Structure 1
Amino acid sequence: MAVNSLTERNEERNVQPREETRSNERYIRPAVNIIETEEGLVLTADIPGAAKETLDVNVEKGILTISAPVSHEMPGTTAYREFELASYYRQFSIPESLDHEKAKAEYVNGILTLRVPKAEAAKPKRIAVQVG
């Protein structure tokens, strides 16, 4: 039985995971909310400390990638530290029924909001019934 949701799981779509290049750099997986609406998907990601100029959001072969390098240098001398600064990196598999060309992203106060509309072919259409 096929799942009709845009946010179906990778296992249900039989998508192979993307092979990652190994790196010594540590990454933070930003907290993300993904909401499906009638118009498409709305993704919000918590990426505090990232600069808008270095934020990279792209889609390639059905994989949405969010990455944001963060400066590891803080002014002054560290007196006490409970968290580490690290770059952000997160990937999601998204369906081809979305119109990636019309996607819009905004970054305000450390929150990335990405809106990806459904392609016209994927939107439900009402068919008028004529009498006669």
Structure 2
Amino acid sequence: MADQETNGSAAAETTRDVPVFVPPTDIIETESSLLMVLDVPGADPDSLDVTLDKRVLRIAARSASSHPEGCTLQHAEYRDGNYERSFVISEPVDAAKIEAVFKDGVLRLTLPKATPAPAAKIPVKAA
């Protein structure tokens, strides 16, 4: 199962030029995998970056501009910004089989659990 996130839990961090949003996440565990569902509304699909380094899963994205080019924005309630969130994965997962699907502002990650190696008898040689 995914352990506590590794960064703060504030809704947005504004220490950079643009706000950094922490996407709300649901984590579902089955016998064979972990399913993570992250809300990243307005994220540019080309900017999505999902990496697993050792046991740390990092998700990052940029939100796309909310208004068409050549237009003047008269009023804005949606803020452009970045999304970032990290998790420490407590169980071994099969990194080669992780799947990520982005649709309608929702990122779904499927992390298959690694198959444990069977017990093995180790021969001991007399020296």
**In the alignment, what sits opposite 1:58?**
51
Q: How many residues align?
A: 108
Q: State how 1:3-82 maps to structure 2 within 5 Å.
A: 6-9=1-4, 23-72=16-65, 74-75=67-68, 76-82=71-77
User: Structure 1: how far apart are the matches of 2:92 and 2:22?
Assistant: 26
C-alpha offsets along residues 89-111 of structure 1, whole Å, 9 cap, x if unaligned?
A: 11111124221221111111111
Q: State how 1:73-112 maps to structure 2 within 5 Å.
A: 74-75=67-68, 76-112=71-107
List runs of 5+ in structure 2 lacking aligned partners: 8-14, 118-127
- Give 2:115's aligned amino acid: E
- Of the two structures, which has the highest relative contact order with CA contacts closer than 8 Å and spacing of 6 or more? 2
After superposition, the Cα gap between the structure-2 partners of 1:24 and 1:8, relative to the gap in structure 1 and judged at 3 Å, is same
4+ aligned runs moved over 3 Å, structure 1: 7-10, 22-25
Confirm or deny: 8 A CA contact 1:7 1:36 kept in the other structure: no
Root-mean-square deviation (Å): 2.3
Confirm or deny: 8 A CA contact 2:44 2:64 kept in the other structure: no
User: Structure 1: how far apart are the matches of 2:42 and 2:60?
Assistant: 13
- Give 2:80's aligned amino acid: L
The secondary structure found in structure 1 opposite 2:59 is strand
Confirm or deny: 8 A CA contact 1:41 1:115 kept in the other structure: yes
The secondary structure found in structure 2 opposite 1:93 is strand
Confirm or deny: 8 A CA contact 2:42 2:66 kept in the other structure: no
C-alpha offsets along residues 111-131 of structure 1, whole Å, 9 cap, x if unaligned?
A: 111000111108xxxxxxxxx
Confirm or deny: 8 A CA contact 2:3 2:87 kept in the other structure: no
TM-score, structure 2 length as denominator? 0.72
TM-score, structure 1 length as denominator? 0.70
